[in-house]
Protein backbone atom coordinates (compact mmCIF):
# COMPACT_ATOMS: atom_id res chain seq x y z
CA UNK A 1 0.00 0.00 0.00
CA UNK A 2 1.41 3.38 -1.03
CA UNK A 3 0.69 6.56 0.91
CA UNK A 4 0.43 9.72 -1.21
CA UNK A 5 0.12 13.22 0.27
CA UNK A 6 -1.18 15.95 -2.05
CA UNK A 7 0.44 19.32 -1.37
CA UNK A 8 -0.78 22.67 -2.65
CA UNK A 9 1.64 24.50 -0.37
CA UNK A 10 -1.19 26.25 1.46
CA UNK A 11 -1.76 26.19 5.18
CA UNK A 12 -3.94 23.07 5.31
CA UNK A 13 -1.87 20.73 3.15
CA UNK A 14 1.34 22.00 4.75
CA UNK A 15 0.02 21.30 8.25
CA UNK A 16 -1.31 17.91 7.15
CA UNK A 17 1.99 16.75 5.67
CA UNK A 18 4.12 17.87 8.61
CA UNK A 19 1.80 16.57 11.33
CA UNK A 20 1.21 13.27 9.52
CA UNK A 21 4.96 12.67 9.37
CA UNK A 22 5.11 13.23 13.14
CA UNK A 23 2.22 11.09 14.35
CA UNK A 24 2.13 8.39 11.65
CA UNK A 25 5.69 8.11 10.37
CA UNK A 26 6.05 5.99 7.25
CA UNK A 27 7.36 6.30 3.72
CA UNK A 28 5.11 8.91 2.08
CA UNK A 29 5.08 10.06 -1.51
CA UNK A 30 4.60 13.84 -1.57
CA UNK A 31 3.21 15.37 -4.75
CA UNK A 32 2.14 18.78 -6.02
CA UNK A 33 0.39 19.83 -9.23
CA UNK A 34 1.88 23.14 -10.41
CA UNK A 35 0.53 24.84 -13.52
CA UNK A 36 3.86 26.44 -14.45
CA UNK A 37 2.54 29.93 -13.69
CA UNK A 38 3.26 30.00 -9.95
CA UNK A 39 5.42 32.73 -8.38
CA UNK A 40 8.92 31.91 -7.15
CA UNK A 41 7.53 31.93 -3.59
CA UNK A 42 5.68 28.70 -4.39
CA UNK A 43 8.82 26.85 -5.45
CA UNK A 44 10.85 28.26 -2.54
CA UNK A 45 8.13 27.09 -0.13
CA UNK A 46 8.11 23.61 -1.68
CA UNK A 47 11.89 23.36 -1.40
CA UNK A 48 11.63 24.34 2.27
CA UNK A 49 8.88 21.78 2.92
CA UNK A 50 10.91 19.11 1.17
CA UNK A 51 13.77 19.82 3.58
CA UNK A 52 11.48 19.64 6.62
CA UNK A 53 9.86 16.42 5.43
CA UNK A 54 13.17 14.85 4.46
CA UNK A 55 11.72 13.70 1.16
CA UNK A 56 11.30 15.07 -2.37
CA UNK A 57 8.03 16.63 -3.50
CA UNK A 58 7.15 15.25 -6.91
CA UNK A 59 5.65 17.77 -9.37
CA UNK A 60 2.88 16.30 -11.52
CA UNK A 61 2.35 18.63 -14.46
CA UNK A 62 0.55 18.82 -17.75
CA UNK A 63 3.28 18.90 -20.42
CA UNK A 64 2.04 22.20 -21.88
CA UNK A 65 1.40 24.09 -18.67
CA UNK A 66 -1.01 27.00 -18.40
CA UNK A 67 0.55 29.20 -21.07
CA UNK A 68 0.91 26.32 -23.50
CA UNK A 69 -2.74 25.39 -23.09
CA UNK A 70 -3.83 28.99 -23.57
CA UNK A 71 -1.94 29.07 -26.87
CA UNK A 72 -3.21 25.65 -27.97
CA UNK A 73 -6.86 26.32 -27.15
CA UNK A 74 -6.77 30.03 -28.02
CA UNK A 75 -8.80 30.56 -24.86
CA UNK A 76 -8.28 31.91 -21.38
CA UNK A 77 -9.54 30.29 -18.19
CA UNK A 78 -12.14 32.63 -16.72
CA UNK A 79 -15.56 32.62 -15.06
CA UNK A 80 -17.17 31.49 -18.29
CA UNK A 81 -14.78 28.63 -19.02
CA UNK A 82 -12.90 27.35 -16.00
CA UNK A 83 -10.90 24.57 -17.61
CA UNK A 84 -7.60 25.22 -15.84
CA UNK A 85 -8.18 23.29 -12.61
CA UNK A 86 -9.59 20.26 -14.42
CA UNK A 87 -6.91 19.98 -17.11
CA UNK A 88 -3.88 21.15 -15.13
CA UNK A 89 -4.55 19.62 -11.71
CA UNK A 90 -7.40 17.11 -11.47
CA UNK A 91 -6.73 15.09 -14.62
CA UNK A 92 -2.92 14.80 -14.13
CA UNK A 93 -3.39 13.76 -10.49
CA UNK A 94 -6.03 11.18 -11.46
CA UNK A 95 -3.70 9.74 -14.09
CA UNK A 96 -0.87 9.59 -11.55
CA UNK A 97 -2.99 7.85 -8.91
CA UNK A 98 -4.09 5.24 -11.44
CA UNK A 99 -0.44 4.16 -11.74
CA UNK A 100 0.09 3.93 -7.96
CA UNK A 101 -2.58 1.47 -6.85
CA UNK A 102 -3.18 0.29 -4.24
CA UNK A 103 -2.71 3.61 -2.44
CA UNK A 104 -4.12 6.00 0.12
CA UNK A 105 -4.44 9.60 -1.08
CA UNK A 106 -4.26 12.15 1.77
CA UNK A 107 -5.93 15.54 1.23
CA UNK A 108 -5.93 18.46 3.67
CA UNK A 109 -9.62 19.17 4.27
CA UNK A 110 -10.46 20.52 7.74
CA UNK A 111 -13.22 19.54 10.13
CA UNK A 112 -14.82 23.01 9.85
CA UNK A 113 -15.35 22.80 6.08
CA UNK A 114 -17.61 19.78 5.86
CA UNK A 115 -19.34 20.95 2.69
CA UNK A 116 -16.12 21.14 0.72
CA UNK A 117 -15.25 18.23 -1.57
CA UNK A 118 -11.68 17.04 -1.76
CA UNK A 119 -11.52 15.36 -5.12
CA UNK A 120 -13.49 12.23 -5.97
CA UNK A 121 -10.53 9.96 -6.63
CA UNK A 122 -11.84 6.95 -4.74
CA UNK A 123 -13.66 5.87 -7.90
CA UNK A 124 -10.24 4.80 -9.17
CA UNK A 125 -9.91 1.08 -8.36
CA UNK A 126 -7.45 0.61 -5.49
CA UNK A 127 -7.50 4.26 -4.31
CA UNK A 128 -8.68 5.17 -0.81
CA UNK A 129 -9.22 8.82 0.15
CA UNK A 130 -8.16 9.97 3.61
CA UNK A 131 -8.88 13.32 5.29
CA UNK A 132 -6.77 13.29 8.44
CA UNK A 133 -7.45 16.89 9.46
CA UNK A 134 -11.13 16.00 9.66
CA UNK A 135 -10.37 12.82 11.59
CA UNK A 136 -8.32 14.86 14.05
CA UNK A 137 -11.10 17.44 14.33
CA UNK A 138 -8.76 20.23 13.25
CA UNK A 139 -10.27 23.61 12.44
CA UNK A 140 -8.56 26.60 10.90
CA UNK A 141 -7.45 27.72 14.36
CA UNK A 142 -5.77 24.35 14.94
CA UNK A 143 -3.99 24.58 11.60
CA UNK A 144 -2.65 28.06 12.26
CA UNK A 145 -1.75 27.14 15.84
CA UNK A 146 0.23 24.14 14.68
CA UNK A 147 2.04 26.08 11.95
CA UNK A 148 2.90 28.83 14.44
CA UNK A 149 4.28 26.24 16.85
CA UNK A 150 6.57 24.97 14.09
CA UNK A 151 7.54 28.47 13.00
CA UNK A 152 6.08 27.88 9.53
CA UNK A 153 5.07 30.91 7.47
CA UNK A 154 2.86 30.46 4.42
CA UNK A 155 3.62 32.85 1.52
CA UNK A 156 0.83 35.29 0.70
CA UNK A 157 0.55 34.02 -2.86
CA UNK A 158 1.14 30.45 -4.05
CA UNK A 159 -1.25 29.92 -6.96
CA UNK A 160 -1.15 31.15 -10.56
CA UNK A 161 0.08 34.66 -11.18
CA UNK A 162 -2.72 35.24 -13.72
CA UNK A 163 -6.02 33.98 -12.39
CA UNK A 164 -9.61 35.11 -12.79
CA UNK A 165 -10.05 34.72 -9.02
CA UNK A 166 -7.45 37.41 -8.34
CA UNK A 167 -8.44 40.61 -6.59
CA UNK A 168 -7.72 44.05 -8.01
CA UNK A 169 -4.96 44.42 -5.45
CA UNK A 170 -3.31 41.24 -6.74
CA UNK A 171 -3.51 42.49 -10.34
CA UNK A 172 -2.06 45.82 -9.20
CA UNK A 173 0.75 43.99 -7.40
CA UNK A 174 1.49 41.92 -10.52
CA UNK A 175 1.58 45.05 -12.69
CA UNK A 176 3.75 46.91 -10.19
CA UNK A 177 6.31 44.23 -9.34
CA UNK A 178 6.21 41.78 -12.25
CA UNK A 179 5.36 43.90 -15.28
CA UNK A 180 6.68 41.25 -17.69
CA UNK A 181 4.13 38.70 -16.46
CA UNK A 182 1.36 41.30 -16.57
CA UNK A 183 2.35 42.25 -20.11
CA UNK A 184 2.29 38.61 -21.19
CA UNK A 185 -1.21 38.16 -19.73
CA UNK A 186 -2.29 41.36 -21.44
CA UNK A 187 -0.98 39.99 -24.73
CA UNK A 188 -2.86 36.73 -24.23
CA UNK A 189 -6.08 38.70 -23.89
CA UNK A 190 -5.36 40.54 -27.13
CA UNK A 191 -4.68 37.31 -29.03
CA UNK A 192 -7.62 35.28 -27.71
CA UNK A 193 -10.19 38.08 -27.56
CA UNK A 194 -11.09 37.02 -24.00
CA UNK A 195 -10.36 38.55 -20.61
CA UNK A 196 -9.22 36.96 -17.37
CA UNK A 197 -11.40 39.31 -15.32
CA UNK A 198 -15.18 39.26 -15.49
CA UNK A 199 -16.78 42.53 -16.71
CA UNK A 200 -19.44 42.09 -14.02
CA UNK A 201 -17.11 41.63 -11.09
CA UNK A 202 -16.60 45.31 -10.18
CA UNK A 203 -16.61 48.80 -11.69
CA UNK A 204 -12.99 48.63 -12.84
CA UNK A 205 -12.12 47.78 -16.46
CA UNK A 206 -12.06 44.07 -17.24
CA UNK A 207 -9.42 44.08 -20.03
CA UNK A 208 -5.92 44.16 -18.58
CA UNK A 209 -4.78 46.81 -21.08
CA UNK A 210 -7.45 49.22 -19.82
CA UNK A 211 -6.75 48.23 -16.23
CA UNK A 212 -3.06 48.96 -16.74
CA UNK A 213 -3.86 52.44 -18.01
CA UNK A 214 -5.87 53.09 -14.84
CA UNK A 215 -2.92 51.95 -12.75
CA UNK A 216 -0.53 54.14 -14.78
CA UNK A 217 -2.80 57.13 -14.13
CA UNK A 218 -2.31 56.61 -10.41
CA UNK A 219 -5.53 54.78 -9.56
CA UNK A 220 -4.88 52.37 -6.71
CA UNK A 221 -7.28 49.61 -5.51
CA UNK A 222 -8.79 50.24 -2.11
CA UNK A 223 -7.28 47.01 -0.82
CA UNK A 224 -3.84 48.47 -1.44
CA UNK A 225 -4.72 51.72 0.31
CA UNK A 226 -6.19 49.81 3.28
CA UNK A 227 -3.05 47.65 3.53
CA UNK A 228 -0.82 50.72 3.58
CA UNK A 229 -3.02 52.37 6.22
CA UNK A 230 -2.85 49.27 8.40
CA UNK A 231 0.93 49.21 8.04
CA UNK A 232 1.16 52.91 9.02
CA UNK A 233 -1.04 52.33 12.06
CA UNK A 234 1.12 49.38 13.10
CA UNK A 235 4.29 51.43 12.68
CA UNK A 236 2.83 54.11 14.94
CA UNK A 237 2.33 51.55 17.73
CA UNK A 238 5.84 50.08 17.58
In angstroms, the Cα distances linking 94 to 15, 50, 61, 72, 174 are 23, 23, 12, 22, 32
Tell me how far apart the alpha carbons of residues 200 and 139 are, in angstroms, rounded to a whole number: 34
- Model pLDDT for residues 169-187, shown as the tens digit of each residue: 999 999 999 999 999 999 9
pTM value is 0.87
pLDDT value at position 20? 98
Average pLDDT score over the chain: 91
For the domain made up of 2-150, give the CATH fold.
Answer: Rossmann fold (3.40.50)
Res. 194 pLDDT band, cuts 50 70 90:
very high
Q: Are 22 and 50 in contact (CB under 8 A)?
A: no
Ranges in the chain annotated CATH 3.40.50.620: 2-150
Tell me how far apart the alpha carbons of residues 6 and 25 are, in angstroms, rounded to a whole number: 16
Share of the chain above pLDDT 70, in %: 92
Closest to 77 in 3D by CA, of 194, 205, 210: 194
Tell me how far apart the alpha carbons of residues 47 and 146 are, in angstroms, rounded to a whole number: 20
Res. 157 pLDDT band, cuts 50 70 90:
confident
Amino acid sequence: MKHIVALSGGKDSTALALRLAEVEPRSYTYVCTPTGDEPEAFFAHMRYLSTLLGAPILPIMHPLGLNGLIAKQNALPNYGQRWCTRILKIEPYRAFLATQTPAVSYVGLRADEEGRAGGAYDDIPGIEMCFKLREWGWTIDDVWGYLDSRGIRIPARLDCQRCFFQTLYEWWTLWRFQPEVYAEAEGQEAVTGHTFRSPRRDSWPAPLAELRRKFEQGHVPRQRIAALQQLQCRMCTL
